[in-house]
Amino acid sequence: MHLKSPPKWLFILALVAIALSALVLASTTTAQEDVAAKEKTEDLFSVFQKANATLTEIFQQFRADGKIIPQASLKQCNQAFLLAEESRNLLQTGNYSDASNRIVEALQKLKEALRIIYTTYPEQTAETALEKAVQLKSSIIRYYGQLQRIENLTHIAASAGYNTTTLEANIRTAKSLLKTASDNVDAKRFEAASNNLAEANALSDTLLSLVNQFAIDLETQRVQTYIIQTETRLAIIREKAESASNTASLTALENAETSLDNAKDYLENQRIDETLSELANSRTSEEEAVEYLKIGVSSQDSTSSIASNAVQLP
């Protein structure tokens, strides 16, 4: 007797529901307030419950068709329930970070249970439309996550005084395109959804390029501030070294100043990695200059004053 396979939309629903948890988790990890963290963790529990309900329905359909649920799949489900219970206990004690981690692990276990079922009983007929829907939905979720990261960087740039009005408008446009794409997938207008995603992707690339430039500018400002501080320190060390006629200290100081000049040249060309490398060299030579002064100067108060001026690289 031919056994009827469970409707594939059940698989689709479960996969999409579980995938959504990643987006929820991304915003959880950036939450600063306990209340917000608690709410995000509870949202994850809601996703878990929906995914579990869908998987239970799939199990029931398979059993009704006389099929045996693989033990490996059942084992994954049991582990998911244990993790969910542990997460709930952590949530009740206020440990929201660990609670979120456990419930995400539980969701991953459910996803694995579903994968085992789907692998054990593959459907005989291809349903390309539904497979396309899964692919598009996954892309939409991924782009939402990317936009969230871009939005976070935009907030940082705004707090640093940059005009982010255009960026924020483009982010809203990209989100609108993703919403339209999702609606088109639900309506099985896959070509239109693909076009929406292509537009959103192009806009996201532009946004990412802009926020990366902001990040470079912010790093440049930080490095410039450090260079000014270093120049001040080296001037103080030079004055003391010349006063003490400390040749070893002066030689190390010249090396420090040469590396600092190289760093300034690299920074002008926005070669950040090379800039930081030369700054590290300059700091090493600066410390050597200070050590030579310590050896040549009898007053500990004077030398400790020099050493205390050292600061960390940006």
Query: Domain coordinates of the chain in residue numbers?
Result: 1-125, 127-314
Q: Quick one: which of 217, 218, 185 has its CA closest to 200? A: 185
- Summarised one tens digit per residue, pLDDT across range 200-219 is 988 888 888 887 777 677 77
Choose the most confident range, by mean pLDDT, from 29-33, 242-246, 301-305, 308-312.
242-246
- pLDDT, residue 160, reads 62
- pLDDT, residue 187, reads 86
5 confidence band (pLDDT: 50, 70, 90) = very low
Give the percent of the chain with pLDDT over 90.
20
152 confidence band (pLDDT: 50, 70, 90) = confident
- pLDDT, residue 135, reads 81
- Summarised one tens digit per residue, pLDDT across range 259-285 is 999 988 988 887 877 887 888 889 889
Tokens of 95: 């440990």
Count other Cβ atoms within 10 Å, centred on residue 151.
18
Virtual CA dihedral for 121, 124, 126, 131, nearest 10 degrees?
Answer: -10
Whether residue 225 is predicted with pLDDT greater than 60 in this model: the reply is yes
Least confident of 150-154, 271-275, 296-300: 296-300
- pLDDT, residue 261, reads 93
- pLDDT, residue 53, reads 81
Whether residue 165 is predicted with pLDDT greater than 90 in this model: the reply is no
Distance, CA of 195 to CA of 199 (rounded, Å): 6
Distance, CA of 242 to CA of 123 (rounded, Å): 84
| Cα–Cα distances in angstroms (integers) from residue 15 to residues 116, 131, 314, in the given order | 13, 11, 43
Residue 223 burial by CB count (10 A; 0-12/13-18/19+): exposed, middle or buried? buried
- pLDDT, residue 86, reads 92
Q: Which residues of 285-297 are buried (b: 16+ CB within 10 A; e: fewer)?
A: bbebbbbbbbebb
Whether residue 186 is predicted with pLDDT greater than 60 in this model: the reply is yes
Q: Which amino acid is at 203?
A: L
- Summarised one tens digit per residue, pLDDT across range 77-130 is 999 999 999 988 988 888 888 888 888 888 888 888 888 887 877 653 334 566
Q: Quick one: which of 6, 2, 93, 84 has its CA closest to 45? A: 84
